[in-house]
Amino acid sequence: MASASPRKIVVTQRFFDDRSLAYLRAHGCTVELAPPPPGMGEGDMDVETLRRLLTGAAGWIVGHAHVTRALLAALPDLLVVARRGVGYERVDVEAARSLGRVVTIAAGGNDASVADHAIGLMIAVGRRFRQSQAGMLDGDWSILTGSDLCEKTVGLVGLGRIGRSVVRRLSGFDVRVLVHTSSPDADYAQRTGIEYTDLPELLRRCDYVSLHAPLTPRTKGLIGASALAAMKKGAFLINTARGGLVDDAALLDALRSGHLGGAGLDVFASEADPALRPVTEALLALPNVVATPHAAASTHEGLARTNLVAARCVVSILDGKSPPPGTVIADGRDTLPLPAGG
């Protein structure tokens, strides 16, 4: 069994860049890169594999692996779990806190990348890029008439860091922006010209609806059959947040019926529930769906930023200091005080 090291860090996701690696090493950490093998996602790594990789580690930089109570309990030396990303529904936050661990997210690291992706999906699905290219490949160069983003009404469900980044990007398209959020900010609305509204009104009025809410028990299935039916006929749904926000089977029905004009999807309910894979495959087959495989944050620049935020969080915790603002989602240091590193 490996002996514990106060500065051993294990990285289990792919694409960990040289700058972030050098940062950890410059702060006295030994780093083991342990990405999943080709053809396997990090979320497919089982508890025993993770336990073996993480034994003796003080820090874990993780992407989509499941951080469970059983795993944490089997790793008493693990002090900090740093997510390279901002969602944390795969982390047992209460278990981490009760077991004295610290869990962080890479707040602010991928905002620009995901916001760019959301705008790209709006344009791609509205202008029918997929259908046009498919036709050209078949020898049909007929011009398909698409829809402008310019001067449309765009609805954002959620207004966190990514949502606000989308608002900034939309300012160049002369659009009206409606926002549904649980935390409206009157000063922000005055500065940006957005309009807060409830979800039914947003769905009724908007030509594009883009989701930027976290996945919680309250938001799970938020866009179901009734919400989709309430959307403006011919509208487009964009989801770069979490698949569980949308009832994908209901979305499939709304697209097949012609009620919606199309969808731009980076996330799917089948990511959490493999039984829904046939629904995902049916969505992917539709000509008016533009899809990517949960890749919105995965640019060279975005991954480098989130890697470095995660690395800084790990070093801060091991040094007994406060990590960057907005990054801590579970802090069990009062339960099990963490020693300062050297």
Catalytic positions? 242, 271, 294
User: CB within 8 A of 107, min separation 6: which ones?
Assistant: 86, 161, 309, 324, 325, 326, 327
Q: What is the DSSP letter of 226?
A: H
The answer to whether the CB of 289 falls within 8 A of the CB of 65 is no
The position carrying tokens 């989308």 is 166
The number of C-alpha atoms within 13 Å of 326 and in the hemisphere containing its C-beta is 10
The answer to whether the CB of 209 falls within 8 A of the CB of 238 is yes
- Residue 330 pairs in a beta bridge with 103
Compute the Cα dihedral for 3, 319, 307, 45 and give only its sign.
Answer: positive
For residue 243, the tally of other CB atoms under 10 A from its CB is 21
The token pair at 93 is: 């936050």
Apex CA 302: angle with CA 298 and CA 306, to 5°? 105
For residue 257, the tally of other CB atoms under 10 A from its CB is 10
The answer to whether the CB of 224 falls within 8 A of the CB of 250 is yes
How many whole angstroms separate alpha carbon 266 and alpha carbon 287? 16
Q: What is the 3-state secondary structure (H, E, C) of 148-191?
A: CCCCCEEEEECCCHHHHHHHHHHHHHCCEEEEECCCCCHHHHHH
Closest to 310 measured CA to CA, from 56, 8, 62: 62
